[in-house]
Chains A and B, each alone.
Chain A
């Protein structure tokens, strides 16, 4: 063996022995003298010799070529071979794990793995352990979460889910896939009991976590609902208390409005006043926008009420337009176009005329100019 270095004695001796010792070769096997932790391509594995690898058919002039590593090409050449034969075997199952590790977004591999899980009656508890590990490594991938959902469904066992998802959320409290899985588990298996507490803990950690505010809305709307005035009052108090702690937290303001908008912002009595109280010490563009929404709501509803005088409506409109102007020109200028539009729109819809009517853009199309088709 001329290529062998003189300094390494043992391999030389061993190889020479192997060359002449036929019987030893039969007992020992090919890999004996090779580092057992060394990676072997599938094309070099004896147990795979019966399968002809299928190279990728990119065609004669491929575009968007990916620079595959040798390992990647080898694994996927054999994956394609298995797929072509629709082989349902342990070795196929093992290979899917390798293919997944190389590209966890390959949904074809995941589909095949699921077919094998069922065809081979694989241990789904073990699959849960597997998918737990994969998600921990790659929590922002669609396929891994869908796979977990399938396994949970097959097992009909959600018992690990809330804790697992909580762990993922502890690493990224806004992971959209995690929240999606959580909502599915809770709804499917009716695990509502402790979720409001879970949400409140998250909001303690970060009152600006919009995903947690959404979960709050999700839990309440599917349990007590928002019709009960006691619940609404509790939520208003919760919001206002969070707002006092963090006045520029848009989530809290959005939640307050979102909770009330179906029934009307003027429906809880005294709400406008409670918000006005905050105006001097806890002002924000969101507070002002909320006031605008209250005034707009009052105008819309006062259309039906006869006891609201014209003067009162005029005053409400004036206050609303004043806020639009303040937001557009000073407090929320990034949304200037929007606030100006809202002002024009509100004025036009209110049916209240004013002596100094001067809209910057005419509402009647000028002749010759066509509007958007």
Chain B
């Protein structure tokens, strides 16, 4: 059976163009870009022709809805390109750095766009994007001292983190905080005091983890909680057996892809959030002394997931999506590709076994199951930041997550404001 290509070059051009629409109009005929407001008839062998999808500029268009998520767009796109092994032009990389610098808040952390308040999600995305770029310029963008201030400003006494000052709590925040703190070497045990226990309290009767204690187990939150615990070195405190049973049960026997919650529908993005748990659990169980783990395969059906992604989740003009009938977007492109990479690559540098469905061109670069950027970029960033001293910040967690009138509306606040 012919398995669909990822149309790697078409996909990557599509993504790359998103960065700078203007500059590419001077390209030669073979790289002609069509600006359009809807998806035109797909080109069958469109590896050279590029089609740029410009979102309609009507009120509540999807693009405007992402105005507070622009570092995410940078990460989704850069990570997709690195998985596709498409090099990032140096000028583009530099422009991304400078843009993310404008998203950095004066009080630390990164915001959804210039002038907005810092938020853990775009902070995670920005740091990951900068680590993918991996140049000195990129690393130097991050103000580590202020970043640590920001993390303290969102830390709660019970171990959880709010997503932003005056914002909501859920387990994503712990992952975002742990991810950026560990990559940039600003992690201290005090910063994550009680966090382990809070995350553990999110594991429920189903075996998976919920967004906050008490809720339904959910793939996105389960990934965040588990990966955060791996970073903190505490993953063994989970009921790994129950978690393993829950996550393998999320693979759909007919579709091959993963659902986010029991009895819900398949979605391409869970190819990463759910399947990405298997490498984490494999390693955790191994560390626990499990002797019967496979040395060739993860404990999910890798071929079936690849089939679902390649056959059901591709837009013929480039980009990936949730399920057939849905439209493409950069979030699904990133996470479908990330899941495809997980499904293709077993093991690590020392022990590596590949299962590539279809042509060799379908092979993606491996991704790190904790950070979801390429392992070399993780190593390079960690190595860079380990040479720098951990900032000396003596802080207490924020007393409350409220929005107080005495706080200036124009800043995201800092721990100093707290009583």
Chain A 19-47, CB-CB to B under 8 Å as 1, else 0, gives: 00000000000000000000000000000
User: Which B68-119 residues have C-beta < 8 A from chain A?
Assistant: 68-70, 73-74, 77, 92, 95-96, 98-99, 102, 111-117, 119
User: Which A326-373 residues have C-beta < 8 A from chain B?
Assistant: 332-338, 340-341, 344-345, 348, 359, 361, 363-365, 369-373
- Collect the chain B residues with CB atoms within 8 Å of residue A67's CB: 54-57, 61, 63
User: A64 near B: Cβ within 8 Å?
Assistant: yes
Known contacts A334-B304, A372-B282; decide if A146 and B263 are in contact (CB<8 Å): no
Q: Which of A128-136, A249-257, A274-282 contacts B (4 or more CB under 8 A)?
A: A249-257
Known contacts A69-B59, A71-B59, A83-B409; decide if A210 and B264 are in contact (CB<8 Å): yes
Is the pair B263, A111 in contact by a Cβ cutoff of 8 Å?
no
- Collect the chain B residues with CB atoms within 8 Å of residue A69's CB: 57-59, 61, 64
Known contacts A337-B294, A337-B301, A341-B292; decide if A372 and B283 are in contact (CB<8 Å): yes
* Count of residues in A whose CB is under 8 Å from the partner chain: 86
- Collect the chain A residues with CB atoms within 8 Å of residue B74's CB: 63-64
**A106 to B166 alpha-carbon distance, docked (Å):** 13
User: A66 near B: Cβ within 8 Å?
Assistant: yes
**A179 to B218 alpha-carbon distance, docked (Å):** 13
**A95 to B318 alpha-carbon distance, docked (Å):** 39
Q: Is the interface of B mostly helix, strand, loop or mixed?
A: loop
Chain B 384-413, CB-CB to A under 8 Å as 1, else 0, gives: 000000000000000000111101111010
Q: Which of A53-61, A159-167, A191-199 contacts B (4 or more CB under 8 A)?
A: A53-61
- Collect the chain B residues with CB atoms within 8 Å of residue A68's CB: 57, 64, 67
- Collect the chain B residues with CB atoms within 8 Å of residue A372's CB: 282-283, 286, 347-348, 350-351
- Collect the chain A residues with CB atoms within 8 Å of residue B204's CB: 214, 217, 258
* Count of residues in B whose CB is under 8 Å from the partner chain: 96
**A54 to B251 alpha-carbon distance, docked (Å):** 49
User: B300 near A: Cβ within 8 Å?
Assistant: yes
Is the pair B67, A66 in contact by a Cβ cutoff of 8 Å?
yes
Q: Which residue of A lies closest to B244 (CB)?
A: A338
Is the pair A176, B63 in contact by a Cβ cutoff of 8 Å?
no
Q: Which residue of B lies closest to A347 (CB)?
A: B292
A/B pair count, beta carbons within 8 Å: 244
Q: Which residue of B lies closest to A211 (CB)?
A: B216
Is the pair A369, B248 in contact by a Cβ cutoff of 8 Å?
no
Q: Which residue of A lies closest to B279 (CB)?
A: A372
Is the pair A107, B205 in contact by a Cβ cutoff of 8 Å?
no
Q: A67-B56, A72-B67, A107-B117 known; 7 other A-B pairs, CB under 8 Å?
A: A61-B98, A105-B66, A108-B68, A108-B112, A146-B167, A365-B295, A372-B347
Interface residues of B (CB under 8 A from A): 18-21, 54-61, 63-70, 73-74, 77, 92, 95-96, 98-99, 102, 111-117, 119, 163-168, 170, 204-207, 211-212, 214-218, 242, 244, 248-249, 251-253, 256, 261-264, 282-283, 286, 290-301, 304, 347-348, 350-351, 402-405, 407-410, 412
Q: Which 3 pairs across A and B sit closest by C-beta, in order of nearness?
A: A258-B205, A344-B292, A64-B73
Offer 13 A-B interface pairs, CB within 8 angstroms, sorted by A: A72-B59, A80-B115, A101-B60, A102-B60, A107-B116, A107-B119, A115-B409, A142-B168, A146-B167, A176-B215, A179-B216, A337-B301, A363-B291
Interface residues of A (CB under 8 A from B): 54, 56-59, 61-69, 71-72, 76, 80, 83-86, 88, 101-108, 111-112, 114-116, 118-119, 142, 145-146, 149-150, 174, 176, 179-180, 183, 187, 208-211, 214, 217-218, 249-251, 254-255, 258-259, 261, 332-338, 340-341, 344-345, 348, 359, 361, 363-365, 369-373
